[in-house]
Structure 1
Amino acid sequence: MALNLEELGIKPVGLDAVRPFAVEGLDVRGRSVALGPILQKILGRHDYPEPVSRLLAEAIVLTSLLGTSLKFDGRFTLQTQTQGPVSMLVVDFETPDAIRACATFDAERVVGLIDAGTATPEALLGHGHLAMTIDQGKHMQRYQGLVELNGISLEEVARRYFERSEQIPTEVRLAVGELYTRQDGDAPVKSWTGGGLLIQFLPEAPERMRQADIDPGDAPEGAVRHFIDEDDAWVEAKALVDTVKDVELTDPEVSVETLLYRLFHERGVRLFDAQPIADKCRCSRDKVANVLANFSADEVEAVTVDGKIVVTCEFCSTAYEFDR
Structure 2
Amino acid sequence: MDFVLLGTGAGVPAKARNVTSIALQLLEERGTVWLFDCGEATQHQILKTAVKPRKVEKIFITHLHGDHIFGLPGFLSSRSFQGGVDKLTVYGPQGIDSFIKTSLQVSGTHLKYPLEIIEIEEGTVFEDEQFTVTAMSLDHGIYSIGYRVVEKDRPGSLLVDRLRSEGVKPGPLFKVLKNGQTVCLDDGRVINGKDYISAPKKGRIITILGDTRMCSNALILAESADFLVHEATFSAEESEMASAYYHSTTVQAAETALKAGAKHLILTHISSRYTPEDAERLKGESKAIFANTIMGEDLMAIKVPLYSEESDS
Q: Classify the TM-score, shorter chain.
A: under 0.3
Greater strand percent: which structure?
A: 1
If the length of structure 1 is used for normalisation, what is the TM-score?
Answer: 0.27
Greater RCO, 1 or 2 (C-alpha within 8 Å, sep 6+): 1
